[in-house]
């Protein structure tokens, strides 16, 4: 981490992040070394205000917890307007709202299971995040857009995409699966609380419901390995406790711009010479 400046800070009484071994951030957004922290007031006596030096401002994730809290408190990140609108636990209104912007930033920046890929392996070295879902995003190659005439439909647990689309009076559009095959798309549709990764046991974009057994990776999202291709079995694959993300559309052919999105082409029989029509 870059050395902190020795900017004098007026003393008052502050709450702070407390647990850091080497650094502290107080509720005014100042980040300081522990030896520049006043134990009587709880405030930094020197330090950097709203320090984002160790943060990726695109992902809003930082390599150090105290820097995450300090950067989150920066006026440009609008914590004072955001904190009354979000719940302490994502998608759990019963947990209530944060008390103020410092409490919000201090809570948001803590790591949790959604910061990891497998067990305790963090997705990224910058894994202290104050983004909306408070987790880093693994880098992904771009995916093609979903065609306007295709609906993305979430299946029930254990249901394949043939049935899911059929319930809507539509069919599963195999050619569109590559557009759904990303953790970004999965997180737009499912909580993915535990992780988002690829696994040969779950070769299609799917979410394992929290009620599944531990061996089934509950609350995790899965995508197909990026170097593999979708085939004819993609529409009818199902697994107990897995909710499919299905591309559903009318039974009409796709235009040329919607073809060739990473699929295994069906083999077409080529006429042999002795199969030529008589008289040619």
pLDDT band at 271 (very low <50, low <70, confident <90, very high): very low
2-24, pLDDT tens digit by residue?
Answer: 555 555 555 579 999 987 789 99
Mean pLDDT of 76-89: 92
Neighbours of 200 (CB within 10 A): 9
Q: How far apart are the first and last CA of the chain?
A: 78
Q: Are the C-beta atoms of residues 86 and 97 closer than 8 Å to each other?
A: yes
Is 135's pLDDT higher than 70?
no
Sequence-separated contacts (24+) of 264-273 with Cβ below 8 Å: 264/229, 264/230, 264/231, 264/232, 266/232
Is 280's pLDDT higher than 70?
no
Mean pLDDT of 64-73: 95
User: pTM of the full predicted structure?
Assistant: 0.53
Is 253's pLDDT higher than 50?
no
94-104, pLDDT tens digit by residue?
Answer: 999 999 999 99
Segments in the chain forming alpha helices (H): 65-72, 79-82, 101-108, 161-166, 177-180, 183-189
Mean pLDDT of 75-91: 90
Specify the range with the lowest mean pLDDT, choosing from 27-31, 132-136, 228-232, 243-247: 132-136
Determine the length of the chain. Answer: 280
Q: What backbone phi and psi angles, to 5 degrees, belong to 122?
A: -75, 145
Mean pLDDT (the chain, rounded): 81
d(C-alpha 58, C-alpha 120), whole Å: 24
Is 75's pLDDT higher than 70?
yes
114 vs 1, 118, 136, CA distance in Å?
A: 25, 10, 8
Domain boundaries, the chain: 23-129, 150-252
Check residue 245 and give its pLDDT: 97
pLDDT band at 257 (very low <50, low <70, confident <90, very high): very low
């Amino acid at each position: 981490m870059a050395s902190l400046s020795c900017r004098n800070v007026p003393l008052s009484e502050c709450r702070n992040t407390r647990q850091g071994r080497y650094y502290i951030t107080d509720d005014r957004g100042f980040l300081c070394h522990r030896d520049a922290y006043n134990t009587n007031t709880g405030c930094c006596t020197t330090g950097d205000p709203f320090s984002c030096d160790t943060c990726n401002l695109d992902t809003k994730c930082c390599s150090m917890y105290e820097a995450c809290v300090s950067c989150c408190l920066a006026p440009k990140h609008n914590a004072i307007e955001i904190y009354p609108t979000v719940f302490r636990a994502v998608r759990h209104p019963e947990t209530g709202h944060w008390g103020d912007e410092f409490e919000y930033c201090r809570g948001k920046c803590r790591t949790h299971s959604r910061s990891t890929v497998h067990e305790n392996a963090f997705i990224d070295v910058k894994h202290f995040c104050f983004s909306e879902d408070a987790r880093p995003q693994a880098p992904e190659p771009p995916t093609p857009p979903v065609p306007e005439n295709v609906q993305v439909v979430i299946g029930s647990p254990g249901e394949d995409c043939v049935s899911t689309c059929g319930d809507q009076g539509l069919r599963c559009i195999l050619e569109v699966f590559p557009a759904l095959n990303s953790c970004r798309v999965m997180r737009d549709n499912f909580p993915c609380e535990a992780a988002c990764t690829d696994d040969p046991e779950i070769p299609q974009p799917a979410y394992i419901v929290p009620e599944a057994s531990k061996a089934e990776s509950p609350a995790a999202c899965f995508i197909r390995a990026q170097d593999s291709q979708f085939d004819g079995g993609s529409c009818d694959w199902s697994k107990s406790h897995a909710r499919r993300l299905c591309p559903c559309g009318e039974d009409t052919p796709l235009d040329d711009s919607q073809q060739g999105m990473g699929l295994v082409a069906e083999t077409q029989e080529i006429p042999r010479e002795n199969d030529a029509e008589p008289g040619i």
